[in-house]
Chains A and B, each alone.
Chain A
Amino acid sequence: MTVGIVPFPGSNCEDETAAALAQLGIPYTIIPWHTTDDVSAYSGFVFPGGFSFQDRIRAGVIAAKLPIMARIKALSGSRPILGICNGAQILVEAGFLSDGDTLDCAIDANRHNGEAIGFVCDWGFLSPVNPSKNVFLKSFSESDVLPVQVCHAEGRFIHQGAPVSGLKYTQLSGAPAQGFPYNPNGSQDNWAAISNSAGNVLAIMPHPERSMDSRVYPQSIRVVADRHGYRLVPFTTLFKGFVT
């Protein structure tokens, strides 16, 4: 079992992603985006964050249309596939979350009150929705609150139909996010991560690979959580989705 990490020119989170897999003892290989080698031997794929092709035209759209994506998409029915931040944008633009011939999910520019708000770099909180329906989320429960690093300018999920599973932005208490800043980008229905209907693909905009150790949480979050007795859950087990 080996997971393929697929960075593109401008990706910059492949090392953190590799470290997250290594922490769980999951073997991985960095796959060059331009490879013509057979990729069917990999047991899963992860697309790391960054700025593929400098986010030109629209974040992720150029990488999404490259030949390697069609080859991986042809395998996607049987393998776990994770896209983080720019990797999520690439999966969405390539149609990994869509069942038909049209795109029914998008990730648009962050906005608040009808205006673009640019790049958001902050901590946020997520809770799973129907976690049993996605291979990466099945070790979590709906009552979990997972602190996570948010770091993007285009993270606003728009979707048609109701996603079967995913993660939603919440408050530190686990209550639903009520607008900015808990929902940092104006995402429809507070979605921060969306699963495909088969449950083997997850596109997540915040960074779970940077949020696996509670020691990196800001002191302010830890103090408030302790004061109110909130139990915070690190993202470590998300990557166990590659092991099943």
Chain B
Amino acid sequence: MTVITVYTTQKQSDLAAVSAQKFFEMYGGAPYPRYIQHYNQYHIAGTFSADAIRAIAHNSPILYNRNNQHMITDATLFNPEHHFFVIKRREPLRCTNQIQAFRAVMPASQTIEAMYVSDMWALDFSEPIPVSDMISRFMMGAPNTTALFAHPLCHTVEHLPFDALKAQLTGVVQG
């Protein structure tokens, strides 16, 4: 089994990220993130050539619309100063349509077994702030907090250090 990770993001300002940043600036108290970016994270698992799948993804509209989105497979396109948080669904949603689209253009000897999409948010602060504070103040929702990005019954929040993000993109997990 091979597992690869790719990211997509908007070429122009992501409106959900802009709204979140403005909301935290107005209501979240200091320090608040001065910049937020939103990414979709795709985990693709199966028996395939990682380079071939990345090429298919890059050259097709299966995972992104190249008119207004980037597909990112190069860690140098992320800012290592940002704090990355992955919001995963407790009950993942299957991407059956995308899997079928991949299968239609893959060699018959290769196959995709599973694919899941998660949200990733990148936050930038002008001053240091503990990761635990970022999660409680901005990530995991609760009554009487301003955290927006995750709901405790639906999501988990994972802090993804830049080195781990880089390893995801440069490496291929073989299982």
A binds B: yes
Q: List chain A positions with a Cβ less than 8 A from chain B.
A: 53-54, 56-58, 61-62, 65-67, 70, 93-95, 98, 101-106, 108-109, 111, 114-116, 158-160
Contact of B153 with A114 in the complex, beta carbons under 8 Å: no
Tell me how far the C-beta of A122 lies from the nearest C-beta in chain B, rounded to whole angstroms. 21
A-B pairs with CB below 8 Å: how many? Answer: 71
Contact of B153 with A62 in the complex, beta carbons under 8 Å: no
- Check A66/B20 contact, CB under 8 A, given A94-B143, A103-B143, A115-B96: no
How many B residues touch the partner, as a band? 20 to 34
| Interface bits B139-175 vs A (CB < 8 Å: 1, else 0) | 0011111101101111000000000000000000000
How would you classify the secondary structure of chain B's contact residues: helix, strand, loop or mixed? loop
Contact of A116 with B93 in the complex, beta carbons under 8 Å: yes
- B117-141 CB contacts (< 8 Å) to partner A: 141
Return the chain B residue nearest A115 by Cβ: B94
Residue B23 is within 8 A (CB to CB) of chain A in the complex: yes
Q: How far is the CA of A106 from the CA of B90 in the complex (A)?
A: 13
- Check A103/B144 contact, CB under 8 A, given A111-B93, A115-B94, A116-B93: no
Contact of A102 with B142 in the complex, beta carbons under 8 Å: yes
Contact of A115 (CB < 8 Å), options: B93, B144, B148: B93
Return the chain A residue nearest B121 by Cβ: A57
Q: Which residues of A contact B153 (CB under 8 A)?
A: 103-106, 108, 158-160
Q: List chain B positions with a Cβ less than 8 A from chain A.
A: 15-16, 19-20, 23, 27, 91-94, 96, 141-146, 148-149, 151-154
Contact of A102 with B93 in the complex, beta carbons under 8 Å: no
Contact of A114 with B93 in the complex, beta carbons under 8 Å: yes
Contact of A65 with B152 in the complex, beta carbons under 8 Å: no
Q: List 13 A-B contacts (CB under 8 A).
A: A54-B19, A56-B15, A57-B20, A58-B151, A61-B141, A93-B141, A94-B143, A101-B142, A103-B142, A106-B154, A108-B153, A114-B94, A115-B96
Contact of B152 with A102 in the complex, beta carbons under 8 Å: yes
Q: How far is the CA of A150 from the CA of B79 in the complex (A)?
A: 43
Return the chain A residue nearest B15 by Cβ: A56
Return the chain A residue nearest B147 by Cβ: A65
Tell me how far the C-beta of A171 lies from the nearest C-beta in chain B, rounded to whole angstroms. 25
Q: Which residues of B contact A116 (CB under 8 A)?
A: 93
Contact of B23 (CB < 8 Å), options: A65, A102, A104: A65
Tell me how far the C-beta of A88 lies from the nearest C-beta in chain B, rounded to whole angstroms. 14
Tell me how far the C-beta of A91 lies from the nearest C-beta in chain B, rounded to whole angstroms. 11
Q: Which residues of A contact B19 (CB under 8 A)?
A: 53-54, 56-57, 62
- Check A57/B93 contact, CB under 8 A, given A62-B23, A101-B144, A102-B142: no
Contact of B143 (CB < 8 Å), options: A61, A67, A95: A95
Q: How far is the CA of A102 from the CA of B16 in the complex (A)?
A: 24
Q: Which residues of B contact A98 (CB under 8 A)?
A: 143
**Known A101-B144, A105-B153; further 16 A-B contacts with Cβ < 8 A:** A54-B15, A57-B16, A57-B20, A57-B149, A58-B148, A61-B151, A65-B27, A70-B144, A106-B152, A108-B153, A108-B154, A111-B93, A114-B92, A114-B93, A114-B94, A116-B93
